[in-house]
Amino acid sequence: TEACLRACPAACTCSHVERGCSVRCDRAGLQRVPQEFPCEAASIDLDRNGLRILGERAFGTLPSLRRLSLRHNNLSFITPGAFKGLPRLAELRLAHNGELRYLHVRTFAALGRLRRLDLAACRLFSVPERLLAELPALRELTAFDNLFRRVPGALRGLANLTHAHFERSRIEAVASGSLLGMRRLRSLSLQANRVRAVHAGAFGDCGALEDLLLNDNLLATLPAAAFRGLRRLRTLNLGGNALGSVARAWFSDLAELELLYLDRNSITFVEEGAFQNLSGLLALHLNGNRLTVLSWAAFQPGFFLGRLFLFRNPWRCDCQLEWLRDWMEGSGRVADVACASPGSVAGQDLSQVVFERSSDGLCVDPDELNFTTSSPGPSPEPVATTVSRFSSLLSKLLAPRAPVEEVANTTWELVNVSLNDSFRSHAVMVFCYKATFLFTSCVLLSLAQYVVVGLQRE
Binding mask 37-76 for other proteins (x = CB under 8 A): ----------------------------------------
Q: How many CB atoms lie within 10 A of CB 227?
A: 29
Which stretch of DSSP H or E encloses residue 422? helix 422-457
Among 24, 67, 156, 285, which residue sits at the site for other proteins (rule: CB under 8 A)? 285
Among 235, 266, 279, 320, which residue sits at the site for other proteins (rule: CB under 8 A)? 235
Interface size with other proteins, residues (CB under 8 A): 73
| Calpha distance 452→458 (Å, rounded) | 10
- Main-chain dihedrals φ then ψ at residue 367, nearest 5 degrees: -75, 150
Residue 444 in contact with other proteins, rule: CB under 8 A:
yes
Q: By CB under 8 A, what part of segment 127-156 binds other proteins?
A: 142, 144
Q: By CB under 8 A, what part of segment 251-280 binds other proteins?
A: 259
Do residues 150 and 126 lie in contact, with contact meaning Cβ atoms separated by under 8 Å? no
List CB contacts of 306: < 8 A, sequence separation 6 or more: 281, 282, 283, 284, 333
Of residues 3 and 414, the one with the C-beta less far from other proteins: 414
Residue 227 in contact with other proteins, rule: CB under 8 A:
no
Do residues 135 and 114 lie in contact, with contact meaning Cβ atoms separated by under 8 Å? yes
Binding mask 338-377 for other proteins (x = CB under 8 A): ----------------------------------------
Among 38, 239, 342, 366, which residue sits at the site for other proteins (rule: CB under 8 A)? 239
Q: By CB under 8 A, what part of segment 373-432 binds other proteins?
A: 400-401, 403-404, 407-408, 411-420, 422-423, 425-432
Residue 57 CA: distances (Å) to CA of 45, 114, 387? 17, 16, 87
Residue 332 in contact with other proteins, rule: CB under 8 A:
no
E runs forming strands in 196-279: 197-198, 211-213, 235-237, 245-246, 259-261, 269-270
Residue 167 in contact with other proteins, rule: CB under 8 A:
yes
Do residues 146 and 120 lie in contact, with contact meaning Cβ atoms separated by under 8 Å? yes
Residue 305 in contact with other proteins, rule: CB under 8 A:
no
Q: By CB under 8 A, what part of segment 169-188 binds other proteins?
A: 187
Of residues 10 and 455, the one with the C-beta less far from other proteins: 455
| Calpha distance 88→65 (Å, rounded) | 6
Among 61, 300, 395, 446, which residue sits at the site for other proteins (rule: CB under 8 A)? 446
Which stretches within 286-398 are classed as H helix?
A: 322-331, 385-398
Q: Could you give the angle at the alpha carbon of 344 between the alpha carbons of 289 and 396, nearest 5°?
A: 120
Of residues 8 and 334, the one with the C-beta less far from other proteins: 334
| Calpha distance 456→452 (Å, rounded) | 6
Residue 450 in contact with other proteins, rule: CB under 8 A:
yes
Instruction: Find the shortest distance in angstroms from Cβ 365 to other proteins.
Output: 25
Among 189, 252, 313, 344, which residue sits at the site for other proteins (rule: CB under 8 A)? 189
